[in-house]
Amino acid sequence: MDTKQVVNIDQVKQINMAAVYRLIDKLGPISRVQIAQSSQLAGASITKITRQLLEAGLIAEVSQQQSTGGRRATSLMSRPHFRLATVRLGRGILDLAMYDLTGQVHQKESHTLGAQTQEQLLPELIDYIGTFLEKQHKNKPIALALTLSGLVSPSNGFVIYAPYYELKQCPLGQILEQQFKLPTYVGNDTRAMALAEHYFGQSVDISDSVLVSVHHGTSAGIIIDGQVFMHRNRDLAEIGHIQVDPLGERCHCGNIGCLETICSNPALLARARKLLSQGSISKLKPTDSIEVLYQLAAQADELCEMLVRQAARALGKTLASVVNLLNPQVILISGEICLAQAIVFEEIHKSISHQALSSFAQQLEIRAAHYQNNPTVGGLALIKRAMLNGELLMQIIEQHSH
């Protein structure tokens, strides 16, 4: 027998449970008969699964008037009241937020971090998360998720490399799970944000999309068929290190002329300051922030507009290759770069229409991401995914039955 056909019985349980939960979550209130019709599972299986979900408090029964009038039928709905603890580890900043499953925020806070190495970071991180969790004594969260900029093995929360804190081969997911005794998910922040846009933001009901984040670096998250596109244990979509200028500047990765050396906030500010020091005329001052640079570009300040168009062209050139490879329906752009959205999207569209297959380019839409200043929502998406694919459902039901 082909070993690929051998499916673990727990996996079958998880797949069926997830299928039932997804239907209830998406279509509820929904009756058991309707679940049977949509899922093609046997009535007995549905009775068993819904009983387990009810006992664990994951769904609730509601009485509903049937459309034909007459007797009331019992339907099922998901219960979104569960608290989900999310953490975004940024560059010198830690954001924490407590959500429920509808995406509503119940509490949030931010802290600056002094840590610069793995040894300094871990105690500081555990301290802040621990204090945050202690405040939730009445509403203990069902899971914890952390997102960060770096390469992460998503199946086990193993951080392969995160440059800012010099994290290397760090089993962060395991450390947090043991510390806080909660199912824990750790993921790359841009990949998680792409998923958040798909669940709650600008790419709901769109099966294939790419989120491009332009901040300190330039990175992407790819959604294919409603799932984050990734390898089992290796990261991908590091578009910031695709070469766009063979004669360009050296990138921190060691190569020359990567997209990030042209289209990232620090690169843009550095170019602007260099030109200002050489006597270029602009309303921009050397001490101004990236927001001011993009705002001035949108107001047709010549220097700022030239720099932003140049960056957007480089981004568009890279995205043209992405379009040829993946043919997404939508590309979402996140970051302060959206403050100059009109000229940025114009340049991206131009590059894509020149360099991508015309049938792909014509159907493509470019939109600003919905979540521009909400870094913890990526963690929420990681937990939501674990609910919808059954992984977390199984853990909650198991805890409940002990």
Site for Zn ion, rule CB under 5 A = 241, 251, 253, 255, 258
Beta carbon of residue 151, minimum distance to Zn ion (angstroms, whole number): 13
Distances (CA, A) of 100 to 53, 56, 81, 115, 246: 18, 16, 6, 30, 47
Give 35 or 242: the residue with its C-beta nearer to Zn ion. 242
Beta carbon of residue 48, minimum distance to Zn ion (angstroms, whole number): 52
Beta carbon of residue 316, minimum distance to Zn ion (angstroms, whole number): 18
Give 78 or 265: the residue with its C-beta nearer to Zn ion. 265
Beta carbon of residue 250, minimum distance to Zn ion (angstroms, whole number): 9
Beta-strand pair 209-214/330-334: parallel
Give 114 or 254: the residue with its C-beta nearer to Zn ion. 254
Question: For 95-101, which contacts have Cβ atoms below 8 Å and span 24 or more sequence positions?
Answer: 95/375, 95/376, 96/128, 96/129, 96/132, 96/376, 97/376, 97/377, 97/379, 97/380, 98/132, 98/136, 98/139, 98/141, 99/376, 99/377, 99/380, 101/384, 101/387
The set of residues, in sequence order, having a beta carbon less than 8 Å from that of 69 and lying 6+ positions away, is none
Beta carbon of residue 310, minimum distance to Zn ion (angstroms, whole number): 18
Helices (H) and strands (E) in the chain, counts: 13, 15
Q: Is the CB of residue 188 less than 8 Å from the CB of residue 145? A: no
Give 322 or 383: the residue with its C-beta nearer to Zn ion. 322
Give 241 or 350: the residue with its C-beta nearer to Zn ion. 241
Strand partners of residue 222: 210
Q: How far is CA 152 from the centre of its chain?
A: 13
Q: Is the CB of residue 376 less than 8 Å from the CB of residue 95? A: yes
Single out the residue of 55, 4, 54 nearest to residue 24, CA to CA: 54
Give 79 or 241: the residue with its C-beta nearer to Zn ion. 241
Give 208 or 249: the residue with its C-beta nearer to Zn ion. 249
Judge residue 21's burial from the number of C-beta atoms within 10 Å of its C-beta, 0-12 exposed, 13-18 middle, 19 or more buried: buried
Tokens of 91: 């560059």
Strand partners of residue 94: 89, 111
Beta carbon of residue 218, minimum distance to Zn ion (angstroms, whole number): 10
Beta carbon of residue 187, minimum distance to Zn ion (angstroms, whole number): 22
Give 23 or 239: the residue with its C-beta nearer to Zn ion. 239
Q: How far apart are CA 53 and CA 396, in angstroms?
A: 9
Q: Is the CB of residue 397 less than 8 Å from the CB of residue 13? A: no
Beta carbon of residue 257, minimum distance to Zn ion (angstroms, whole number): 9
Tokens of 74: 């019992």
Beta carbon of residue 40, minimum distance to Zn ion (angstroms, whole number): 48
Give 252 or 283: the residue with its C-beta nearer to Zn ion. 252
